[in-house]
Amino acid sequence: MDFKEYPDREMLALSLADRLASQLGQHLRNSETATLCVPGGTSPIQVFETLSGTDLDWDRVTVFLGDERWVDGEHKRSNGRLLRRYLLKDKAAAANYIDLYTGDPLPDDALGKLGESLAPHLPITVALLGMGNDMHTASLFPGSDRLTEALASDAPPLLPIRSEGAEEPRITLTRPVLSKAFHIHVLIMGPEKREALERAQKLDPAEAPIRAFLDQATVHWAE
């Protein structure tokens, strides 16, 4: 794990956005297309806004989320809604976006079509992950109903997942797909998440799912 500490959140956002754009651009010099996988939540908003104005061949970049709540795209809890508002604008509006929410009644019903949509864009070029205070990442929550399956080396690319306390079912990318990304970054902010990261390093992924990705990751932290 490579740990990078920044003097403030603005510097983190600027530096991380530049790093993501650089890695995507380098990949596009040798490949026709690139893939960017990003987290939901509010932590990456400043990174997204910076990245959205970056000069990049965005029409050759495919963007999708690492997980999504099974709610309509205009719902206040939709990760896709945040992504469209803060990343898929300005120059990044030209990117190809794969929405994990399909409108099917349940995420279970969408696995086939989503798997087909994602397959041509794997492996992921750059994966940006978040982490909760409970050490979850994507929708890989400790204690969730299919966590063992999602962490297995032979897991399918996507799984529907439900967790106690979650307001709705979710769909998540699984360990094999995320861990095979060419570049993995983890974005965390604040002292609680730094403490959670330190705890996660000593635990098994079954207890701290983010642990499954830390050995290959660059972690970006600011107070």
Q: What is the pLDDT of residues 133-161, one digit of tens each?
A: 999 999 999 999 999 999 999 999 999 99
Structure tokens at 74: 């205009």
Those residues with Cβ within 8 angstroms of residue 26's Cβ, 6 or more apart along the chain or in another chain: none
Q: Tell me what pLDDT residue 70 has.
A: 95
pLDDT band of residue 38 (cuts 50, 70, 90) is very high
221 pLDDT exceeds 90?
Answer: yes
pLDDT band of residue 30 (cuts 50, 70, 90) is very high
* Mean of pLDDT over the chain: 96
Q: Of 50, 49, 82, 42, which Cα lies nearest the Cα of 190?
A: 42
First CA to last CA across the chain, in angstroms? 19
3-state secondary structure 134-183: CCCECCECCCCCCHHHHHCCCCCCEEEECCCCCCCCEEEECHHHHHCCCE
DSSP state, residue 130? -
Q: Which residues pair with 135 in a beta bridge?
A: none
Long-range contacts of 114-122 (CB under 8 A, 24+ apart): 114/158, 114/171, 115/156, 115/157, 115/158, 118/64, 118/157, 118/158, 118/177, 119/157, 121/33, 121/35, 121/62, 121/64, 122/35, 122/157, 122/177, 122/180
What does pTM read for this prediction? Answer: 0.97
Q: Of 131, 140, 17, which Cα lies nearest the Cα of 67?
A: 140
Element (H, E) at 74: none
Those residues with Cβ within 8 angstroms of residue 126's Cβ, 6 or more apart along the chain or in another chain: 20, 23, 24, 27, 34, 35, 36, 37, 181, 182, 183, 185
**Which whole-number Å values give the CA distances from 22 to 14, 27, 79, 84, 105, in the listed order?**
12, 9, 25, 22, 39
pLDDT, tens digit (0-9, with 9 covering 90-100), for 71-121: 988 888 999 999 999 999 999 999 999 999 999 999 999 999 999 999 999
